Chain A
């Protein structure tokens, strides 16, 4: 399913559960959406870097199973933006659902 533009919000939501690295973030988004939201993993990293540029997330390098990985963490600013995105999404989806149900 095409979810153009929603990837940053999904990343923020995933990171609200705790710090994580790129592969795990991608896997969790796919798993949480039960495979409905599928995306090319190469686009995840520019999105992560963009969020970091806006200081919504921060990153640091750590080791796991002998591999050097970059861990991303939600910042306070990111937490606020995520809360706002959630509110807006609930409003938006509620309005669309109302209209579509009316049509049915």
Chain B
């Protein structure tokens, strides 16, 4: 940027080579989707060029015509992004995992202190409890994420979440009657609200991603043959 003036975007001309067309059409897609599309379009292009060469066209003409027949790379990119998992989608999934960890950490603190609602533990006991429950959470989390199938992972994650929610609700909402426990009560309700919001967000993301993930199994296996699935 010079003296506050917006920087001019570089002029993007039409792709002159197949590699440029492919780069535009598959930009932002996950590598497995890119690899599949590259292979298919390259084979298509080779076939189109070969047919034109047989009809007597020169190589340069045949290549230019075959490229023109592919059409607008940006339009193809928009369509591919509707059908395939993008890097952005991947980040959303990763974001969900991060969020689950964060929620788990908050839970751990509340859960640990809930063991001693009337007698707040000393910092050392509290820390011990936190570490203990963190280990348990981590073990469950790893067990869930090591599942090879997306469906199993999600089902287990949902079950674990529900279990945490139930345990927490019981401890925070039913057992705390003393006025000094107001803080924990608020924390408990806060957690319930956070979990409900998380569930809504996860459901929304799930609907968005389910079709893409189940497509060629981009979540499970790269470039899979759906005929063999």
Contacts and interface: CB of A to CB of B under 8 A. Distances in A.
Interface in B188-229: 211-212, 214-216, 225-229
How large, as a class, is the contact surface on chain A? 20 to 34
Contacts, number: 88
A84 interface: no
Interface residues of B, number: 34
A73 B41 CA distance: 18
Contact of B228 (A23, A47, A52, A60): A60
B22 to A, nearest CB: 10
B118 interface: no
Contacts of B211: 53
A69 B43 contact: yes
A67 B75 CA distance: 27
B136 interface: no
A50 B76 CA distance: 13
B75 A45 contact: no
A43 B40 contact: no
Nearest to A26: B44
A45 B37 contact: yes
A50 B39 CA distance: 17
Contacts of A47: 79
A42 B25 contact: yes
Contact of B44 (A41, A53, A60, A61): A41
A74 B62 CA distance: 31
Interface of A: 21-23, 26, 39-43, 45-47, 49-50, 52-53, 55, 58-61, 67-70, 73
Given A42-B25, A67-B46, 17 more contacts: A22-B40, A23-B43, A23-B44, A26-B44, A39-B71, A40-B75, A41-B70, A45-B41, A46-B82, A46-B83, A52-B215, A53-B83, A53-B215, A59-B216, A60-B226, A70-B39, A70-B40
Interface of B: 21, 25, 36-37, 39-41, 43-44, 46-48, 69-73, 75-76, 79-80, 82-84, 211-212, 214-216, 225-229
